[in-house]
A and B are shown apart, each in its own frame.
Chain A
Amino acid sequence: MNDDNPKSWKAHLKNPMPSDWAQEIDDFEVQIELNKQGKVEPRIFAETRLRRGAYGQRYDNGHRNDGKQIRHLKYPNDGLWKGPDTHWDAPGMQRIKFPWGGITAQQLDTLADLAEEYSDGIGHITTRQDFQLHFIHVEDTPDIMRRLAAVGITTREACGNSVRNVTACPLAGVCRTESFDVTPCAKAIFQFMLGHPDAQDFGRKFKIAFSGCAQEACGVVNMHDMGFIAKKVTVAGKEKRVFDIYVGGGLGPVPYNAKLLFENHPVEEMLPVTQAVARVYGRLGEKKIRGMARIKFLVAKLGIEEFRKLIVEERKVLTPDPRWTGLIEQNSEEKPARAAQNLKAASLPKGFLDWKKTNVYQQPQYGYVAVTVKVPLGDLTSSQLRALAEMARKYVKETVRTTVEQNLLFRWVSEADLPALFEDLRAVGLSASGANTISDITSCPGTDTCKLGISASRGLARELSRRLDETMAELPQEVRNLKIKVSGCPNSCGQHHISDLGFYGVSRKSGSYTVPHFQLVLGGQWKNNGGSYGLAVAAVPSKRIPETVQRLADRFVKERLKDENFQNFVQRIGKVEIKNMLSDLAVIPPHDAEPSLFTDWGDLREYTIADIGKGECAGEVVAPSEFSLTAAESKAFEAQVELDKKNYKAAVDLAYESMIFSAEGVVRTRNREWTGKPDATIAEFKRFFFDTGEFVKHVNNTQFAAYLFKAQENRLSNPNPDEAHRRVEEAQLFLEAVHSYVANVASSPVALLGK
């Protein structure tokens, strides 16, 4: 601690930050000190630091597979913990909230300094408009927070069971299709809910999003716990600003579509309704089973009508708060830095026109455009951050925003400034065209830094982007317009459910080896605020994903009907056909025939450990559990096919059969000869693997087994489309968990499925 040290950031920055923010950070620093003295339980300290955005990172349990062996990382303060099984000295991640994605030049400069001094020189834009710094030491976090607070940023509630970053369409205010600018509303809800007493007792995180219109993607309201879509209605001859308010959406392993809570609701009612939702969620939401604690489960359990009734009742008893309207009114609209002027056609820089085509958006305000800076994998160096700060000052003042596609948006650029801005971007390597095209791939951190990562999502995204950029000029327009999103595990931080081609990391056993794979997810929709979710079609080894993309794109170009989009194309030719055309790619050859398949992108470590028996002999042994898993895969796929045909009951039944085979796969790791009826198999699974904690220990989560028990308890005799969709997803996830379990009990180092 540095309370008495005049040469400290605490003393240095005492005045530039609000006193309550300063106090909160001081309090956090005290918690750090108490934790070091052993006076705080690691579990309590973990939630404390998470609520301040200080996350753990991969290998913080003190173990790392170096490709040859599991290495014990000898952190200096051995025995000192910053969370359960989380070493004090292990590198961590600091998440930094940027409400509605708004970021100023001064904040960009500060991020540049922090990335250099505390991190690895990179500021990373996330899929929820945040920034993240990696490889941070927990003892540096109070100073990081002070330096951020001094430029108007709080990391409070960036993680933990709290209201997370409030996101909004980055085009808000400059959009051609919006009903009105949602920025002041997003700002108001951030200010109102930050530290609000009614939002401190959630069982899980709570994410809010705003969109200016229903038809575009930008706000992706459908996948949020709570979302607002702007509309205008005419009441008694007067135009009025209203919201359609949604609740209970969410991705995660099993995605839920948000439900309409209130239609045409007055803007002035936005904050009290949010408060009422927070109170009901805090009171009735699940607290014990983490995997069932998001509000989507509560809304699904109660039904939207009952949930709405509760909100209406709750709203009536709220004590009026002047901030309900005051906060919205005080947030004014932004102004451009420079006068509007038309682009002059003479002597345009090389590459400018291609860039303008994909990266420049015509604002409705005459003479102004919004420019997307395509940021590879969301990563910016400190030099780039400083250069962007300078460009912001020069061209647009404080109107830069981050996007959920991990890019930056410069708004209010005078058209005449475009060539100069392009040249300035080019000087720092940020003038790549292709924003919002197939090569502009979204990815979560995956195995690079995330504890839950199974496959190298960033490695795959990097490789796909590189290949697609190289061939972009030859790609037909319909392929260029496709979206690719990648997650390192089923938890969906890469938002794979709402893209044309989605991928999430899984693993598969091949003899004594474990092979990194990605599940291909098709049928998702980006437009309409992430309007529908895709489903897994086939698991393909990581290294064969580029070939998978190539085949799908080629076939789409060749067989596409006039004006048919990719989603409809997939629906028309069917998932069976798609699975068939990729079936050869899914076959894993013997290790020595193609050793590169047994490593992941950008990571040359063997995906398995050296002490597992090597060679063809081991590779040819097929354990009885693997037959069960093959059958489970088959049933899970058939379930999807029935779902596509809208045969919901059949889909649900097949999903259940898949779960039974998956459970059988687990049981057969103990009793190779096991055959039994479904209920007996489940009982066996429960007795020897669930109740003993054996299964949970290896998959790190109670949720996956809960899917099985839920399916047994409620077979869904007349499922609706949402229920069927979820059941099929759950069968797939239970299967992935079983794959993970089987791989782990064979001493493989494969990453565990998520919490």
Chain B
Amino acid sequence: MIRIEDRMNLQKIGVKFFLEKGMELPLASFIPVFHRWIQEDKLEGMLVDVAEYTHVHEGPGVLLIAHESNYSVDETDGKRGFLYSQKRTPEKNGQEHLKTAFRRILRACALLEREPESAGKLKFAVNHLQVFVNDRLEAPHGAQSLGQLEENLNPFLSWLYEGEKYLLLHEKDPRKRTGFEVKFEKSPSLETLLNQLESN
């Protein structure tokens, strides 16, 4: 993997993959899945609890709370996806943070697609994602932060998506977190992305 000098501390990075299929699945159907993941230690890190916000409009939906991060079937802005939000990790540099975050969320996406509650009914659009820095001190909204994030993100995305072309749409609302919506023209499969992350 390419090593670049960090322009920004990406410890609190968020990555959300949007859905290609599965918007109609009831949010509550993810509750037993997350409980099962805790029982069976399905994910990296220390899983703590499940939090339900199915009653909230376009919110975090159902969360799997972990010590290092939160996973959620997130519906912010009316766009459902699977969000990984990193809270604290032992990684040393930004590229490692990105790699860890993408590996964890893509593993979780792959698992979710296979769960009995969602198998055949849910599919992630791995060519459509959102990346943001969940830290307004590190990344206050503005051109400088966006530039720094882009400099960190570009080499990583080119490496992970094997040079596929993509479009970065930056978050324009100054009250929201610094981040990009990323759209690839075409994309390797979820499994290929995971292989790339796990083999390097």
Contacts and interface: CB of A to CB of B under 8 A. Distances in A.
A465 B31 CA distance: 19
Nearest to A90: B48
Interface in A408-446: 428-430
Contact of A122 (B46, B56, B58, B87): B56
A116 B173 CA distance: 15
Given A12-B137, A137-B88, A383-B77, A376 B55 contact: yes
A222 B35 CA distance: 42
Given A428-B57, A605-B35, A120 B48 contact: no
A120 B65 contact: yes
A9 B137 contact: yes
A116 B177 contact: yes
A715 to B, nearest CB: 46
Given A67-B35, A381-B76, A462 B54 contact: yes
Contacts of A109: 175
Q: How large is the interface on B (under 10, 10 to 19, 20 to 34, 35 or more residues)?
A: 35 or more
Given A75-B46, A117-B136, A137-B87, A122 B35 contact: no
Interface in A20-76: 58-59, 64, 66-68, 71, 73-76
Contacts of B175: 109, 112-113, 386
A379 B39 contact: no
Contact of A117 (B12, B50, B74): B12
Interface residues of A, number: 50
Contacts of B53: 120, 122, 379, 381
Question: Max chain A CB contacts within 10 Å: which of B35, B46, B48?
Answer: B48
A7 interface: yes
A684 interface: no
Contacts of A135: 51, 65, 70
Contacts of A465: 55
B134 A116 contact: yes
A561 B133 CA distance: 61
Nearest to A117: B134
Given A64-B48, A91-B65, A137-B88, A381 B59 contact: yes
A459 to B, nearest CB: 8
B49 interface: yes
B69 to A, nearest CB: 11
Nearest to A58: B49
Contacts of B54: 462, 602
Contact of A381 (B35, B52, B60): B60
Contacts of B67: 75-76, 89
B129 interface: no
Contact of A73 (B46, B55, B74): B46
A428 B76 CA distance: 11
Contacts of A76: 46, 67
B35 A59 contact: no
B88 A121 contact: no
Given A91-B48, A120-B65, A604-B31, A381 B57 contact: yes
Question: Max chain A CB contacts within 10 Å: which of B39, B49, B135, B138?
Answer: B49
Nearest to A60: B48
A74 B65 contact: no
A429 B137 contact: no
Given A117-B135, A120-B63, A135-B51, A604 B56 contact: no
What are the 6 A-B residue pairs with the smallest beta carbon separation, nearest first?
Answer: A429-B57, A381-B59, A121-B60, A376-B55, A604-B32, A66-B39
Interface of B: 12, 28, 31-32, 35, 38-39, 46, 48-60, 63, 65, 67, 70, 72, 74, 76-77, 87-88, 134-138, 175, 177
23 contacts: A64-B49, A66-B39, A71-B38, A73-B46, A116-B134, A117-B134, A121-B59, A121-B60, A121-B72, A134-B51, A135-B65, A143-B137, A379-B53, A381-B57, A381-B76, A384-B59, A386-B175, A429-B58, A430-B57, A449-B51, A602-B28, A604-B31, A604-B32
Interface of A: 7-9, 12, 58-59, 64, 66-68, 71, 73-76, 89, 91, 109, 112-113, 116-117, 120-122, 134-135, 137, 143, 376-377, 379-381, 383-384, 386, 428-430, 448-449, 459, 462, 465-466, 602-605
Given A122-B59, A602-B28, A602-B54, 4 more contacts: A135-B51, A379-B53, A381-B57, A603-B50
